[in-house]
Structure 1
Amino acid sequence: MNITLHKSEITNRQSEVAITGSKSESNRLLLLQALYPEFKLENVSNSDDSNLMTNALSSEEKIVDIHHAGTAMRFLTAYFSIREGRETILTGSKRMKERPIKILVEALKELGAEISYEENEGYPPIKLQGKKLTKNKVSLQANVSSQYISALLLIASKLENGIELTLEGEITSVPYIKMTLALLDEIGIESSFIGNTIIVKPTTNNQQPKTLTVESDWSSASYYFSIVALCQPGTEITLSSYKEHSLQGDSSLVEIYKHFGVSTIFNGNSMTLKKEGNEGKPLALDLVNAPDIAQTIAVTCFALGISCDLTGLHTLKIKETDRLVALKTEIEKLGGEVEITDKSLHLSASKTIKEMVPIATYNDHRMAMAFAPLALKTNLIIEDAMVVSKSYPTFWDDLESIGFQISK
């Protein structure tokens, strides 16, 4: 379904929005809950990805289809490899079959896992014969997706001898690795991360029953940072539930959006974003630790006529789409000028934004949501708008609640 976003303004200068739990935290905790059923979870993400993760973890079917859910594919590859006596075929959408899984499969095989490819070498679908893994030493290139690393860490405490994971080279996406280790610590699993070596100790005892509350999703908050940046000074939007000292790498938004005149005030479990003043000068950022907010930042800069150089984006090429190519294509349709490499994006300042441009979303939720704030500057069309359900199903309703004019 396509929707039209009519040129809008935030009429209520003090809006409030409640955002569902973080997809990143939810998917990690859902897997840990499957391994340790004594835990209860609150504020779990209502995203498609987390629903798919929940269903896959409880499925007794031989074939498990996770559609577009990349995080689920990585985490479940590790999970089903240790489900002793169970054979599972893990598959997904056409795009998922083009997304590499070989690095994780090879690491699991190094630990003794039994995994084979059903179609193309190095790509889903894969067949997993669950078994007890007794080896504990494995190495990975440090610049790979952190989801490969987290997948190994999440199952590590259930391996007979735990895991000693050596990361070779310069580590990327450190916040996501630290998030995983912090969640392990929260449920009493012992780990260490010293230099380039991560150790997770095995846990044989049952854990104490506990309820864990998932923090709301910072990636979803990014679109409101963008909206406030595009508003008049004095505009405020309050979001819940957020921690000032968050585990999520995308919480770097607080510092980044100061550049656009947005201040962040924490009060209990909520944060208020306020437009204080004018936007800044050209922006240069290394987003290696927070690549998921690159689309939001690029569109914010385009909307404000600010040039930017964004680097550290090599993982964007293997997401739901090649996000660098998609950003270049859609921003240039709107009148912008973009250059990309395989790991960076360079946007030239432009004061012109074309009207009623249809924005293609490429089966990518973040393309739809990142471009939505442009409705504060122009009329535009978002194609396949319900793709947002992958991470934020109520996104369009929440935008309407703060003053966006949307027609379907």
Structure 2
Amino acid sequence: MDITILKSTIDNDQKSIAVTGSKSESNRLLLLKALYPGISIENLSNSDDSVLMQNALESKDEVIDIHHAGTAMRFLTAYFSIQENREVILTGSSRMKERPIQILVDALRQLGADINYLDKEGFPPLRISGKKLTNSKVILKANVSSQYISALLLIASKLDYGLELILDGKITSVPYIKMTLSLLNEIGIETEFKDNQITVQAQTSNLKPQTLTVESDWSSVSYFYSVVALSEVGTKLSLSSYKKDSLQGDSILSEVYKTFGVETNFEASTITLHKSTNANQKLSIHLDLSNAPDIAQTIAVTAFGLGIACDLTGLHTLKIKETDRLVALKTELEKFGADISITDTSLHLKSSKVIKSNISVATYNDHRMAMAFAPLALTTSIHIQNADVVSKSYPQFWEDFKAIGFNLK
């Protein structure tokens, strides 16, 4: 499905939107619920990724296909490696078969896992023969995707002696690691994160029945921060359900978008975004997003729409996402007239006052490409190809966009 968004303005009446639960929290809790059935989950994400994760955990089939769901691929590789006397083939889309997983497989093999590649060495599909893992210590490069680390931490309490994880070097995406550890603590599992060592204690007894509520997704709210930033001064938008002391790394949005003139007010479980001033177009924004790479696309598009230069670093994980997001961003922003350059780890955008009209944005099977570019319709009419790709993380995105005043067809 393609969508045309005519040049739009946000309705003057303050709008309120309920955003689906965090995909990151949901997928972690779904795996923990599979390990500890006494857990119940409220406000679960309705994203494709979380549906695929849930279906995979409940499936009795030999072949498990998780399509584009990268988080599910990493978490399920760890999960099935400890399912004794069960053998599965874990596969995905053609893009998933190009996304590396050797670092995680090697780490699980250090613990004693029986995992084999069925096609290209270091990439899915995988044949996993579940067994009791008897080792308890893993050494891992610290700058790898936090999903590899979280996958190990999520199964750690089910190992006979728990897990001692040594991270070698500078750690990236620390908030996502802390999210995993906080959720483990919340259900009653003891952990410690000191310097470059993480320890998770074995859980030998059953956990007490409990209900956990998933916070709404901060990555998803980034697009509404962009909307407010690109709107007139005075624009307000309320979104639920959010916490001021969020576990999600992308909650830095509330600080980042002050630069673009957007203030965030927390009240109970609702945030209200308010465009209080116009951003200074002479600004040049410099951000290290190594702890929140998923909001890089949104920030780059916002800066371009406002004519502000920006330098974003810490983006090395973007090359192995649903697409190479750095190349995709450069290609699509250049269509609008942007002067942009990239490296393997950074993006550099020069200020520009010209935005070309009626551009067709390719989305590369990447939900974040579709949603990050949508707010540019506040400056010019645009076309979004394969617009239904948003269902990967935010199925009702276009309905919510229309509800706040965007003219879609």
TM-score bucket of the superposed structures, by smaller chain = over 0.9
Look up the match of 1:308.
Answer: 310
Match of 2:398 among 374, 389, 396: 396
Look up the match of 1:85.
Answer: 85
CA offset digits 1:355-393 (Å, max 9, x no partner): 110000000000000000001000000000000000000
- Output the CA distance in 1 between the equivalents of 2:40 and 2:150: 21
Amino acid at match of 1:92: G
* Paired residues for 1:374-389 under 5 Å: 374-389=376-391
Look up the match of 2:359.
Answer: 357
The DSSP-based 3-state class of the residue aligned with 2:259 is helix
The DSSP-based 3-state class of the residue aligned with 1:180 is helix
The DSSP-based 3-state class of the residue aligned with 2:408 is strand
Amino acid at match of 2:220: S
CA offset digits 1:236-292 (Å, max 9, x no partner): 000000000100000000000000000000000010000000113110000000000
CA offset digits 1:111-160 (Å, max 9, x no partner): 00000000000000000000011100001000000000000000000011
Look up the match of 1:68.
Answer: 68
The DSSP-based 3-state class of the residue aligned with 1:259 is coil
**Post-superposition offset of 1:233:** 1.0
- Output the CA distance in 2 between the equivalents of 1:337 and 1:124: 37
- Output the CA distance in 1 between the equivalents of 2:37 and 2:260: 44
Look up the match of 1:244.
Answer: 244
Amino acid at match of 1:194: K
CA offset digits 1:15-63 (Å, max 9, x no partner): 1110010000000000000000001000000000000000000000000
User: Are 1:12 and 1:402, in contact at CA under 8 Å, matched by a contact in 2?
Assistant: no
CA offset digits 1:99-119 (Å, max 9, x no partner): 000000000000000000000
User: Are 1:13 and 1:234, in contact at CA under 8 Å, matched by a contact in 2?
Assistant: no
User: Are 1:22 and 1:214, in contact at CA under 8 Å, matched by a contact in 2?
Assistant: yes
Amino acid at match of 2:397: F
- Output the CA distance in 1 between the equivalents of 2:175 and 2:230: 28
**Post-superposition offset of 1:297:** 0.1
Query: Does residue 293 of the first structure (1) align with residue 258 of the second (2)?
Result: no
- Output the CA distance in 1 between the equivalents of 2:238 and 2:209: 33
Amino acid at match of 2:218: W
Amino acid at match of 1:189: I
Look up the match of 1:8.
Answer: 8
* Paired residues for 1:3-402 under 5 Å: 3-280=3-280, 281-402=283-404
Amino acid at match of 2:216: S
More off after superposition, 278-287 vs 238-247: 278-287
CA offset digits 1:381-408 (Å, max 9, x no partner): 000000000000000000000000000x
Amino acid at match of 1:166: I
The DSSP-based 3-state class of the residue aligned with 2:224 is helix
What is the TM-score with the length of structure 1 in the denominator? 0.99
Amino acid at match of 1:237: L
The DSSP-based 3-state class of the residue aligned with 2:258 is helix
- Output the CA distance in 1 between the equivalents of 2:181 and 2:12: 40
Corresponding residue pairs, total: 407
Query: What's the Cα RMSD here?
Result: 0.5
Amino acid at match of 1:276: S
- Output the CA distance in 1 between the equivalents of 2:334 and 2:13: 32
Amino acid at match of 1:272: T
Amino acid at match of 2:11: T
User: Are 1:12 and 1:403, in contact at CA under 8 Å, matched by a contact in 2?
Assistant: no
What is the TM-score with the length of structure 2 in the denominator? 0.99
- Output the CA distance in 1 between the equivalents of 2:393 and 2:235: 26
**Post-superposition offset of 1:12:** 3.2
The DSSP-based 3-state class of the residue aligned with 1:278 is coil
- Output the CA distance in 2 between the equivalents of 1:279 and 1:32: 43
Query: Deviating runs (4+, > 3 A) in structure 1?
Result: none
Structure 2 unaligned residues grouped into runs of 5+: none
User: Are 1:4 and 1:382, in contact at CA under 8 Å, matched by a contact in 2?
Assistant: yes
CA offset digits 1:46-97 (Å, max 9, x no partner): 0000000000000000000000000000000000000000001000000000
- Output the CA distance in 2 between the equivalents of 1:12 and 1:308: 30
**Post-superposition offset of 1:11:** 1.3
CA offset digits 1:303-345 (Å, max 9, x no partner): 0000000000000000000000000000000111110000000
- Output the CA distance in 2 between the equivalents of 1:347 and 1:99: 27
Amino acid at match of 1:23: K
CA offset digits 1:190-212 (Å, max 9, x no partner): 00000100000000111111110
- Output the CA distance in 2 between the equivalents of 1:42 and 1:370: 27
Amino acid at match of 1:111: L
The DSSP-based 3-state class of the residue aligned with 1:85 is coil
